[in-house]
A and B are shown apart, each in its own frame.
Chain A
């Protein structure tokens, strides 16, 4: 184990050195195109102060309304968002933000009697940058609630400052198990999933229904390894054999060096973890090189989710995945959500949108429960913990032990429905799945 660790460290170190030139350019490039901090600063008093004369306030847009007479919180509630808005994760950040906006709009843009202000920052897929953005949100914008984070590495980097600042936080994507295990914090909730949740259920399912001879292929970074390990643990327990493991670097555009290897291992199926453009390239090349003909694909749903499926096209047909949501999920909330999202953004909803929608709803319901008064933090955290509702993904409820959702996981297959590719639900876990928390 420790041996592996030193190996990992060395590799990371070398990668770091090697990419200095590259990162300098890319980093600066990405940074410079971060969307200018949104939502003009309003003159509303910061949450916990009583409106001081707004002397230092820049170009007042909204005059400070009705100075509070009692020591009750009024004024806008500020929610700080750090999500991917540029480059590779832009689509995810957009989806989450759009769906949050959709929900906030549906409740008139306010919660617990206070108007909601969103302050958006780009995480740039870089923990260092995200840390800087977080201190801006905390020190300068004085946000009341934090939400966001696409990347697990960023989530883990922000954990300590969030915990120390005691900011109620909702992680709306990053799946690193540790966020709700070793590194859990009473202030941090997760509305999305843990990596264990989106891969462990596939173990018994694949062994039972797909094949007992599988090769594991995963992107070589934390999430890829967590997913691969969670899957292998339950797959082996269910009597499956892992013929080999292949870990292409992350991110990567060309999988052709790895495909002959996978083929050589002669698996009946693979378990593959990739997302975003990696997922598109992997699926297309897997098919281009003729592997898809006799090797089935099982995977966490991100490999073939709505955001990448159109680009993958027919190469994705037949892939069997597991996820906490499916486009074709048959419930009233989902149908309404998909229709509303499409009407507002002229785009199909994806799982990230569902996560954003639910995050917004958790915030609004918890705010309503405390009537907009965030001064008693414990009360607000308890209110978040108690939020329960029917989400597009089915029943949404937090696990009080981990503050990660307990949720039904759906097995889906990519099929053509009315000439359009879609993840069709072909099964689900018997019980809602809770992350083991350790």
Chain B
């Protein structure tokens, strides 16, 4: 087992981890702050990818799609929060789960009806179409781009949450939303914004994932499950938990597949089970 081999596997793990992070970050903060279990979060990811594809087809420009698709999906998220989730406030998780699950089904059927059942793919932009020689193989630039974007967004989000006023409000909201509202802050607007940003992040992930793993019906559920595991492992409501949880799960999954192919799907669940036993609130979750 050469160093190159390990390096490539590490990069692969990092790349899938950072894609996961883009979903898990939103999922975790939304749950932590608004107490909403959003099962439609994978749909934002899927819609982002498909809308991105349509934009690329229409304008022939990947970068434009990368900018617009998250905005569109973010706006959609804003509307969903305002119009559908808001009235369910205080009605317990089951109602929310039913609603967001229903939304996921609608999104899936909408995608089926609009883009068809065939598997589609998105070409990487010409700037990222090549690959770098790396040991025995070539490493695709598109994947490196995913890694760079993921790290960049993680850093920016981290700074926003820890250093800005709005970040402080979000953190306070996770701790006690009602109290924040009582202090004269328009917490309901903050909720909508957080939900929209979460949706936009997922959509962004969808667009940059599309050239790497393609587009298909079912990509929503697949990714949502992985992201939920990350949230469980990392702890609810913390960005840091989402980040380290993603890294742990992404790398474990990748090395599990590469080194123990017979138990490929197991490593992730072993970690989740261990965390649940040893630290039920997750790596960075607050003690309850």
Contacts and interface: CB of A to CB of B under 8 A. Distances in A.
Interface of A: 7, 11, 14-15, 17-19, 21-22, 25-26, 28-29, 32-33, 86-88, 90-91, 94, 220, 246-249, 253-254, 256-261, 263-264, 276-277, 280-281, 284-285, 288-291, 307-308, 310-313
Q: Which 5 A-B pairs have the closest CB atoms?
A: A290-B138, A90-B117, A257-B258, A18-B269, A311-B121
B261 A246 contact: yes
A289 B132 CA distance: 9
Contacts of B119: 91, 276-277, 280, 307-308, 311
A14 B266 contact: yes
Contacts of B139: 289
23 contacts: A11-B263, A15-B266, A17-B269, A18-B269, A29-B104, A29-B105, A86-B108, A91-B116, A91-B118, A94-B117, A257-B12, A257-B257, A260-B8, A276-B216, A280-B121, A281-B213, A281-B214, A284-B121, A288-B131, A288-B138, A288-B140, A290-B133, A290-B137
Contact of B221 (A26, A90, A264, A289): A26
A311 B131 CA distance: 20
B8 A87 contact: no
Given A18-B265, A276-B119, A260 B136 contact: yes
Contacts of A86: 108, 112, 217
Contacts of A310: 118
Contacts of B133: 290
Given A220-B264, A249-B257, A249-B265, 9 more contacts: A11-B262, A11-B263, A21-B225, A254-B212, A256-B254, A257-B254, A277-B119, A285-B140, A311-B121
B123 interface: yes
B31 interface: no
Interface string B254-275: 1101100111111011000000
Given A29-B221, A256-B8, A284-B214, A248 B257 contact: yes
Contacts, number: 142
A311 B218 CA distance: 16
Nearest to B140: A288
Interface in B29-87: 39
Interface in B82-141: 101, 104-105, 108-109, 112, 116-121, 123, 131, 133, 135-140
A25 B225 contact: yes
Contacts of B212: 254
Chain A interface, DSSP helix/strand/loop, else mixed:
helix
B247 to A, nearest CB: 16
Interface of B: 4-5, 8-9, 12, 15-16, 39, 101, 104-105, 108-109, 112, 116-121, 123, 131, 133, 135-140, 142-143, 212-214, 216-219, 221-222, 224-225, 228, 254-255, 257-258, 261-266, 268-269
A220 B57 CA distance: 35
A384 B39 CA distance: 48
A90 B138 contact: no
Contacts of B116: 91
Contacts of B221: 25-26, 29, 87
Contact of A87 (B15, B217, B262): B217
Contacts of B8: 256, 260
Given A256-B8, A257-B257, A7 B218 contact: no
A325 B161 CA distance: 58
B213 A313 contact: no
Given A86-B217, A289-B139, A290-B137, A19 B9 contact: no
Contacts of A311: 118-121, 214
A266 B99 CA distance: 52
A256 to B, nearest CB: 4
Contact of B264 (A90, A91, A248, A284): A248
Contacts of B257: 248-249, 257-258
A247 B137 contact: no
Main secondary structure of the interface of B (DSSP, over half): helix
A288 B136 CA distance: 13
A213 B121 CA distance: 31
Contacts of A260: 4-5, 8-9, 135-137, 258
A264 B5 contact: yes
A247 B109 CA distance: 32
Contacts of A254: 12, 16, 212-213, 254
A310 B219 CA distance: 19
Contacts of B4: 260
Given A15-B265, A25-B225, A33-B105, A263 B214 contact: no
Contacts of A288: 131, 138, 140, 142-143
A264 B135 CA distance: 10
Contacts of B15: 256
A87 B222 CA distance: 11
Identify which of B9, B121, B140 gathers the most chain A CB atoms within 10 Å of its CB.
Answer: B121
Contact of A7 (B105, B262, B269): B262
Contacts of A17: 269
A291 B138 CA distance: 8
A25 B226 CA distance: 12
Contact of B112 (A26, A90, A289): A90
B101 A289 contact: no
Contacts of B264: 220, 248-249
A365 B139 CA distance: 55
B91 to A, nearest CB: 21
A313 B216 contact: no
A312 B123 CA distance: 10
Contacts of B225: 21-22, 25-26
A307 B257 CA distance: 28
B141 to A, nearest CB: 9
A382 B140 CA distance: 57
A98 to B, nearest CB: 11
A248 B136 contact: no
Contacts of B142: 288
A83 to B, nearest CB: 12
Contacts of B101: 28-29
A391 B248 CA distance: 53
B16 A248 contact: no
A264 to B, nearest CB: 6
B46 to A, nearest CB: 12
Contact of B138 (A247, A253, A276, A289): A289
Contacts of A261: 258
